[in-house]
Amino acid sequence: MDVPAPGRSSTHLRRGTPEYRRTSLVLFLAGFMAFAMLYVVQGIMPDVSRDFSVSPAAASLTLSLTTLPLAVAILVAASWSDGQGRRRLLVGAVLSAAALTLASSMAPSFGALLALRVLTGLVLAGLPAVAMAYIAEEFHPSGMGGVMGLYISGTGLGGMTGRLAGGLLASASSWRLAMAVVGGVSLAGGLWVALRLPSSRNFVSTPGNMRQRMAGLSGPLRDPVIIRLALCGFVLMGSLVSFFNYLQYRLAEAPFDLAPALVALVFLLYLFGTVSANWMGRLTDRRSRRLVLLLCMAIMAAGALLTLSNRLPVVLAGAAAMVFGFFGAHSTTSGWVNIWATQRRAQSSALYLFGYHIGSSVAGFVGGLFYAGFGWPGEVGTVLVLLAVGLFVALSLPNGRGHAPFAVPA
């Protein structure tokens, strides 16, 4: 359990120590399981469409109606953790989401499935709400870029595994088996995280009641840099989720006509994200964050354009570029939030993640409307418009380097 420690000297985890490595691994695994549960539904959308006789855009609600309540709940969870601690919320989020994922495998109707996914989003919010704040508080700044990159790569690998396992198990058996396997494995992993995650040593409880702590959001809301980073999160996640929601439908149709099991294998491209998150996370320890962010967004845009081709290798190369650029950009922006926000880190991280997951909800659904109306060029157009907005916002960000703290505007 977290023990608030006012007046206590900080004992940050330093790169190269055994405890640094152990704690980094636990956070990697927690992010892995959380995002496997969140995104397993993306790999089973075609099967949900067939089983419940719903359109691709309707099937995408299994994800959008998870990330939407998650985005809202993150704001509440971050403020709650300021008084009650990070560790308890983080562990509870993984365990309760695992139980709801198991229950989702037995949903008797499409409406029941959506209701269970809404609840999953609400409880799962506890992990992303506090993970970045936990990292910022417990790890020494000299190694924070690396551990943030590792955590982000865990979320990327978990999302990939959830999507891949969902698609493969659904094609071999059913989407219900896919949900049951991901939920069961996550429940076991959550118990391991509960046993191994260290208590906070640098957490200081914020005085006051919940209403007063929620008022702490007013600081980040007045900070133009945090708002711009949240907008970048909206653009980044909205682009990626919308892209992969409908790419699998396209690959199953002419001219590709891939079997369901082969379509599921496209999620192996998320392995490029684990490389990118670590590489770009470390690069921002030495280089301009703005330059790295602009580069990553440009890579995403180029990748989206490549997928207009009707040649499968070119489409797969474009999808790989989308993944590579996204995880590099997300690692950069999420680390930037914690470097910039020297106070109210949990609320600042929560505001960034609010934008990030709202992007997933909104663009993930809206992209389906453009895909239905204009085919794949409509989806690519959706992604390019989002990224154009993101590039404009990124250009207005300060050109910070390394770990030097920035002054937060009053």
Question: What six digits make up the tokens of 60?
Answer: 């995408």
CA–CA distance, 389 with 196 (Å, rounded to integer): 41
Mean pLDDT of 125-153: 81
CA angle 68, 72, 75 (to 5 degrees): 145
Concatenating the DSSP letter of every residue in 82-104 gives HHH-SHHHHHHHHHHHHHHHHHH
What single-letter DSSP state applies at residue 139? Answer: B
CA–CA distance, 334 with 327 (Å, rounded to integer): 10
Mean pLDDT of 158-166: 91
pLDDT at 370 over 50: yes
Q: What is the pLDDT of residue 387?
A: 98
| DSSP helix/strand/coil, 203 | coil
For the chain, the average pLDDT equals: 87
Burial class (CB in 10 A: 0-12, 13-18, 19+), 247: buried
Instruction: Write the Ramachandran bin of 9: left for phi over 0, alpha for psi from -120 to 50, otherwise beta.
Output: beta
Mean pLDDT of 177-191: 96
Q: What is the pLDDT of residue 186?
A: 96
Token match 């979320």: residue? 155
Q: What are the tens digits of pLDDT across the range 107-121?
A: 999 999 999 999 999
| Residue 18: other Cβ atoms inside 10 A | 8
Amino acid at 143: G
| 120, 101 Cβ separation under 8 angstroms | yes
Q: What is the pLDDT of residue 108?
A: 96
Q: What is the pLDDT of residue 348?
A: 83
Amino acid at 356: Y
Give all domains of the chain, ordered by start, each with its CATH number. 18-198+216-395 (1.20.1250.20)
pLDDT at 288 over 70: yes
pTM of the model: 0.81
| 37, 187 Cβ separation under 8 angstroms | no
Percent of the chain with pLDDT over 90: 60
